[in-house]
Structure 1
Amino acid sequence: MAVTFDLFGTLVDADRPDRPGEAVGAALAARGIPVPDDWASAFREAHIDAPRGAEVPLPAHVAAALRSRGVDVPGNAARRAVVAAFDPEVRTRASAVDAVDAAADRGAVGLLSNCSVPELVGRTLIRSELSRGTFDAVVTSVGCGWRKPHPDAFEAVAEALGVGADAITHVGDSPAADGGITELGGRFVDVGDSGLRTIAERLRAGGE
């Protein structure tokens, strides 16, 4: 048995920009990158043709949005601006540590997060009460290239854990995204229904 967890909204709450485009634009300007007058529109437009379910890294989207307005982006300036714009305060949810520890006592435990911002998951874990070392695998959509509920996202964490996707119980807060594990024969546990404390108790009792 392997248990995987979603991160944002499941194990932690993190403050992220209410207006991501504005936050990224301010971070670009702070780095001397000209921000187009219609940046809000440019940021909202699709600029990269990606397969359905694929993750487009936000720095790539930002760089493409700037180029669409004739702005050159030197080096990794777009990445640095995006990372700076998403610099969250993090609150670990009640019983999150207990639930992850209970899962680790049962077998392999992983983290699978939809996140288009490089470094954000790592920085979130550092600022939380969770230990990255507790997880046998940490997989992000920006790292593996696919967003939940795409099967390849779940297959990526399953491969990293050395199990089949049908052996995974995935704990998350979104039936639409996290519930995709059921299409591969695994099990979805909705943290909104069960609660982390109950999930921890069931894992220790041999359930879930």
Structure 2
Amino acid sequence: MAVTFDLFGTLVDVEYPSDPAEIVARELESRGVEVPDDWHVAYGERHVDAPAGAEVPLPAHVAHALDSRGVEAADNVVRHAVVAAFDPDVTRRDGALEAVRDVSDQGPVGLLSNCAVPELVPKTLIRAGLRGEFDAVTTSIGCGWRKPHPKAFEAAAKALGVAPASLVHVGDDPETDGGVEAVGGRFVDVTETPLDALAAQLEAEL
């Protein structure tokens, strides 16, 4: 058995921007990029023809949105703007660290997080005091696929050196995190099984 954890909403709580398009626009403008008047419309449009379930990195989306309005911006400028726009306060949830450490006694432990923003997951782990607690960290921006796509769970399993069917994935969203069941794994919903009860439950089922 190997256990993977979702990050946002499962191990940590973060404050998301209420208007991400506006926050990104401000960061672009502060870097000398002329943001189009209909930016909110452009930001909300689909610009990258990616397969269903594939992750489109947010800097790529932003760059294409600008290009669709005839605005040129260097890739590094767009990336820095996006990273700066998503720089949230992070609160580690009660029992999160203990849950990760306790289940590690039963097998490899990984993180599997949907995240389209570069640097956000490692930054969040540092701020939450969770850096270095996982045998492998898999993100959608890193592997190219978002949960619930099977390839996201397959990537996490490969990083841990186990078969996908051996995964127990712990998360808060049955629609995304529950996708582990499509590869033969098991989903544990933290809204039903609290983090402080997780290790004991898994041990009892071995």
Q: Take 1:43 and 1:195, find their aligned partners in 2: how far apart are those partners?
A: 37
Aligned partner of 2:56: which letter? V
Q: Take 1:75 and 1:45, find their aligned partners in 2: how far apart are those partners?
A: 19
Unaligned runs of 5+ in 2: none
* TM-score, normalising length: structure 2: 0.97
Unaligned runs of 5+ in 1: none
Give the equivalent residue in structure 1 for 2:27. 27
Aligned partner of 1:10: which letter? T
Give the equivalent residue in structure 2 for 1:175. 174
C-alpha contact (below 8 Å) 2:15/2:90 kept by paired residues: yes
C-alpha contact (below 8 Å) 2:63/2:75 kept by paired residues: no
Q: Give the number of equivalent residue pairs.
A: 206
Is 1:138 the counterpart of 2:155? The answer is no
Using the TM superposition, give the Cα deviation of residue 200 of structure 1 relative to its aligned residue in structure 2, in angstroms. Answer: 3.1
C-alpha contact (below 8 Å) 1:7/1:111 kept by paired residues: yes
SS at match of 2:169: strand
Instruction: Map 1:57-206 onto structure 2 (within 5 A).
Output: 57-130=57-130, 132-203=131-202, 205-206=203-204
Q: Take 1:111 and 1:75, find their aligned partners in 2: how far apart are those partners?
A: 28
Q: Take 2:133 and 2:86, find their aligned partners in 1: how far apart are those partners?
A: 24
Q: CA RMSD in A?
A: 1.0
C-alpha contact (below 8 Å) 1:98/1:200 kept by paired residues: no
C-alpha contact (below 8 Å) 2:90/2:127 kept by paired residues: yes
Give the equivalent residue in structure 2 for 1:4. 4
Is 1:207 the counterpart of 2:191? The answer is no
Q: Take 2:55 and 2:21, find their aligned partners in 1: how far apart are those partners?
A: 18
C-alpha contact (below 8 Å) 1:104/1:134 kept by paired residues: no
Q: Deviations over 1:108-133 (max 9, x none)?
A: 00000000001000000000022x22
C-alpha contact (below 8 Å) 1:149/1:177 kept by paired residues: yes
Using the TM superposition, give the Cα deviation of residue 206 of structure 1 relative to its aligned residue in structure 2, in angstroms. Answer: 4.0
Identity %: 61
Using the TM superposition, give the Cα deviation of residue 103 of structure 1 relative to its aligned residue in structure 2, in angstroms. Answer: 1.4
